[in-house]
Amino acid sequence: MGKPHEFQQELFNSIKKKLPAHLSLADELADLLRVSADSAYRRIRGETPLSSFELATICQRYHLSVDELLKLNSNSVLFEAPGLNNDYPDFAAYMRAMADQFHYFGKFKNQQIFYLCKDIPFWYFFLFPEIAAFKVYFWSRTINNHPSFSNQQFSIEVHQFEECFELGQKILRMHNEMHSVELWNLESIHSTINQLSYYRDTGIFKTQSDFNAVVNSFLKMIDHLRLQAEQGLKCMPGSEAKQGRIDFYVNELILGNNTILLELDEERITMITYNILSYLICNNEKFVAKTFNAYNNLLSRSALISGTGEKERSKFFNQFRAKITALKNR
């Protein structure tokens, strides 16, 4: 890539792949750089060189690596880390950011989400209010170390987190419009079971009825996931309207990490969790291709239990139910 205009063409070709088909690159660029539409077109055609400030602004907005654009032989990969500067983030703010991400996904015509489930995917806890309230409390108190929860016992009556539940339902509805491919393991449920056990044994549940309500809500969530796997389609509780397709796989031998892969029209993205709730976003072509290859390799060694595979599906979800029900007898 020897000439400046060739670099700019490569840059804007990369951005075009990231934009939903109905959005205009020139309009997006004019708005971002605060220039006229004509000035934006001249930059896109390579007639007007980009300033270093403009290049930095564009790369930051679209999460692009200059190394990658220049075809440098480098193992460096650019990641975005949303929320990196928040010490005690309000959990509703975290969920609003996630809702914004799903709103962005929804702008694309073709949307597929692939999830390697070390733990139960975040949004499923918002199928029912009691398990949602417990998880928001747990994440706020134990993971985010929010000081306002440090001396409070958990109570369904007090800790309802209405805004978080509404946001969770909104995220679920947007997620349900996408085609999902999920890869689960028998260990995927254990972190939540351990959280419930620890909070019960240390007296953080205010009453036994609070604990029982959360466990029963957890069972309802598992039953709903089983229904979705049986139908091969996602839906909201109590609704007969079927939404996006779900391919539900089980691998009993390999436990991976919580990794999300996305296909949005021609763009592919990898999201990797760290520090429990935080995640890194990458669209480097080589890195994304490698993560997709690894995911597909695991799928080829896994059992599909959605739509078909009734025996394996019953076995899998019955084991989940047994583990949760056992919490009541300890």
DSSP state of 243: -
In this structure, the answer to whether residues 163 and 23 fall within a common structural domain is no
Query: Is 77 inside any structural domain?
Result: no
Query: Is 76 inside any structural domain?
Result: no
Q: Partners of 183 in the beta sheet?
A: 116, 249
In this structure, the answer to whether residues 255 and 167 fall within a common structural domain is yes
Cα 126 from chain centroid (whole Å): 14
In this structure, the answer to whether residues 118 and 217 fall within a common structural domain is yes
In this structure, the answer to whether residues 27 and 113 fall within a common structural domain is no
Query: Is 299 inside any structural domain?
Result: yes
Query: Is 79 inside any structural domain?
Result: no
- For residues 116 and 258, the answer to whether their CB atoms sit within 8 Å is yes
Question: Which of residues 69, 99, 119 is at a domain's end?
Answer: 69
In this structure, the answer to whether residues 221 and 276 fall within a common structural domain is yes
In this structure, the answer to whether residues 271 and 175 fall within a common structural domain is yes
Please, which pLDDT band fits residue 5 given cuts at 50, 70 and 90? low
Please, which pLDDT band fits residue 59 given cuts at 50, 70 and 90? confident
Tokens of 226: 């089983």
Mean pLDDT of the chain: 88
Give 133-179 pLDDT, tens digit per residue. Answer: 999 999 999 988 888 888 899 999 999 999 999 999 999 999 999 99
Tokens of 117: 């489930």
Query: Is 246 inside any structural domain?
Result: yes
Cα 21 from chain centroid (whole Å): 23
d(CA 42, CA 35): 11
Helical spans, DSSP H, in 120-207: 129-138, 162-176, 190-201
CB neighbour class for 286 (10 Å; exposed up to 12, middle 13-18, buried from 19): exposed
Split into its structural domains, the chain has a count of: 2
d(CA 271, CA 212): 34
Average pLDDT (61-89) is: 67
Helix, strand, or coil here: 278? Answer: strand
- For residues 217 and 328, the answer to whether their CB atoms sit within 8 Å is no
Continuous segment of H or E residues that includes residue 221? helix 208-231
Question: Do β-strands 246-250 and 303-304 pair in parallel, antiparallel, or remain unpaired?
Answer: antiparallel
In this structure, the answer to whether residues 63 and 207 fall within a common structural domain is no
Please, which pLDDT band fits residue 1 given cuts at 50, 70 and 90? very low
Give 86-128 pLDDT, tens digit per residue. Answer: 655 689 988 998 999 999 999 898 999 999 999 999 999 999 9
**3-class secondary structure for 248-277?**
EEECCCCCCCCEEEEEECCEEEEEEEECCC
Q: Judge whether residue 273 has pLDDT over 80.
A: yes
Parent domain of 29: 4-69
Query: Is 85 inside any structural domain?
Result: no
**Which residue, among 189, 304, 186, has the nearest Cα to 249 in the 3D structure?**
304
Percent of the chain whose predicted confidence (pLDDT) is above 70: 93
In this structure, the answer to whether residues 32 and 101 fall within a common structural domain is no
Q: What is the CATH number of the domain that holds 51?
A: 1.10.260.40
Report pLDDT for 285.
Answer: 85
Contacts of 100 (CB under 8 A, 6+ apart): none
d(CA 191, CA 318): 18
CB neighbour class for 40 (10 Å; exposed up to 12, middle 13-18, buried from 19): buried
In this structure, the answer to whether residues 227 and 99 fall within a common structural domain is yes
d(CA 273, CA 79): 12
In this structure, the answer to whether residues 243 and 142 fall within a common structural domain is yes
Report pLDDT for 23.
Answer: 77
DSSP 84-111: TT-SS--HHHHHHHHHHHHHHHTTSSSE
Give 186-209 pLDDT, tens digit per residue. Answer: 899 999 999 999 999 999 999 999
Query: Is 184 inside any structural domain?
Result: yes
Query: Is 264 inside any structural domain?
Result: yes
In this structure, the answer to whether residues 119 and 162 fall within a common structural domain is yes
Report pLDDT for 151.
Answer: 87
Please, which pLDDT band fits residue 130 given cuts at 50, 70 and 90? very high
In this structure, the answer to whether residues 96 and 223 fall within a common structural domain is yes
| pTM of the model as a whole | 0.79
